[in-house]
Amino acid sequence: MDYKAYSISNFRKIPQLQILSEEQKQNIEIVGHVLPFKVNNFVLDHLINWDDVPNDPIFNLTFPQKEMLLPHHYEEIAGLVQQDAEARPIKEAADRIRLSLNPHPAGQMEHNIPYVNGEPLPGVQHKYQQTVLYFPSHGQTCFAYCTFCFRWPQFTGMSELRFAGREMELLIDYVREHPKITDILFTGGDPLIMSTKNLAANLEPLLDAKLPNLRRIRIGTKTLTYWPFRFLNGDDSRELMALFRRVVNAGLHLAIMVHFNHPNELDSPFVRDALQCIRETGAEVRTQSPILRHINDDAEVWRRLWDIQVDQGCVPYYMFIARDTGAHHYFSLPLVRAWEIFRNAYKNVSGLCRTVRGPTMSTNPGKIQILGVTEIRGEKVFELRFLQGRDPDWVHQPFFAKYDEAATWLNELKPAFDEKRFFFEDTLENTYRENISMPTIYNYE
């Protein structure tokens, strides 16, 4: 299959869109000016069930919908489009709207940039002791875009918001200088959009450096869903599998961190074959997804997702809460609802599927899991805990928030038992006041 992508400039040529009304097509166009939009022929021909549009989950995953913009933002862009405004005023309005949508949640830009020899290390984030995130500069796009994506500013051409680097040498120095680092996580975008040659140019120096502390390389990807041929019969698929094998043979654990949002994404022989090819290299496959209204807010969907993944040799890893960015109002659901869905799916799968952890919020202080709702001395509360924290000492200490049936994110929660602050807030604030960069936060243990 030859790859053919559609964006806002040519989406009207998509044959399947004949079934949509002109109004629906205009909505795609208007919203697609603000949120990222790209689909391809595999998604169109194999993943979307067109009999089920507009409710089809993969249609909602890839096509902008009117309600993804707040009404006043929608009206603003619609007005410009209807006046046949030039590209420039539309882009300016879209940029302004994007900036109001919390494009870098969880303090990603300011607080997680590491330093090497006093210089900031571009394309790298280091928040939790063991794992650095690396954004290879050629891997900052994807074979198609997810409408919920919190990485969306990277794709919308707001160049000052992009953070990407090709500084593999500096990264190697940094990892060598920080012996607690065991994992490098390649992320994006989608690093597997890179040619095997470019990916090898990033991976080979890491293997050659033989860093004694580096044990694992993870690659986050959605290519299994959006272009499984990358692993099967592309120009350099064989070379990609050989590269995976080289990483494994160098004694490193290679984990392909796959994003599957809905079981329909696994329902194709191409995906099954691709998973098998990957596993034959000795790489592990772990899976993660946010829980999203309009796509997968149903316990039975998650039960099937985990069951099918384990059938196909994947290890379920995380269920995330949708981040407070972009079209959050469209996708988010109350924390209590996410927990109920998690529980109702989890209690119906075998222990082999219960490697999954969640539901989890990736917040500025850390990854916080919602353990459940309970009552303590007459007060209804959420029980929470950190799975990862800016301060490692916060991890796995249960703490409590006032029950709130509408809350969708940490910032809407208040401490239980009339306490003024959550236990971690003083440390968090002091860290920022002293302007300690993230890597050294760990030195105050």
Q: Which residues contribute to the site for ligand SF4 (CB under 6 A)?
A: 142, 145-146, 149, 151, 188-190, 222, 259
First CA to last CA distance, the chain: 54
Burial class (CB in 10 A: 0-12, 13-18, 19+), 21: exposed
Of the pair 33, 222, the CB lying nearest ligand SF4 is at 222
Smallest separation, CB 222 to ligand SF4 (Å): 3
368 binds ligand PLP (CB under 6 A): no
128 binds ligand PLP (CB under 6 A): yes
Name the residue whose CB lies closest to ligand SF4.
149
With CB under 5 to 8 Å by kind, the binding choice for 243 among ligand SF4, ligand PLP, none is: none
Q: Which of 232, 278, 236, 237 is nearest to 254 (CA)?
A: 278
Contact of 254 with 284, CB cutoff 8 Å: yes
| 175: its two tokens | 């990892």
Residue 413 burial (CB count, 10 A): 21
Contact of 18 with 10, CB cutoff 8 Å: no
Of the pair 116, 144, the CB lying nearest ligand SF4 is at 144
125 binds ligand PLP (CB under 6 A): yes
| 81: its two tokens | 């489009």
Q: How many residues bind ligand PLP (CB under 6 A)?
A: 10
Smallest separation, CB 202 to ligand PLP (Å): 18
325 binds ligand PLP (CB under 6 A): no
State how far the Cα of 375 lies from the Cα of 425, in Å rounded to an integer.
24
Of the pair 131, 195, the CB lying nearest ligand PLP is at 131
Name the residue whose CB lies closest to ligand PLP.
127
- Phi, psi at 371, each rounded to 5°: -80, -30
Tracing tokens 């590269």 back to the chain, one arrives at: 243
Looking at the DSSP bridge assignments, the partners of residue 88 are none
Stretch that binds ligand PLP, among 13-21, 88-96, 120-128, 233-241 (CB under 6 A): 120-128
Burial class (CB in 10 A: 0-12, 13-18, 19+), 195: middle
Among 6, 367, 381, 410, binds ligand PLP (CB under 6 A): 367
Smallest separation, CB 185 to ligand PLP (Å): 6
* Mask for 158-197, x = binds ligand PLP (CB under 6 A): ---------------------------x------------
Contact of 288 with 320, CB cutoff 8 Å: yes
Among 223, 388, 408, 431, binds ligand PLP (CB under 6 A): 388
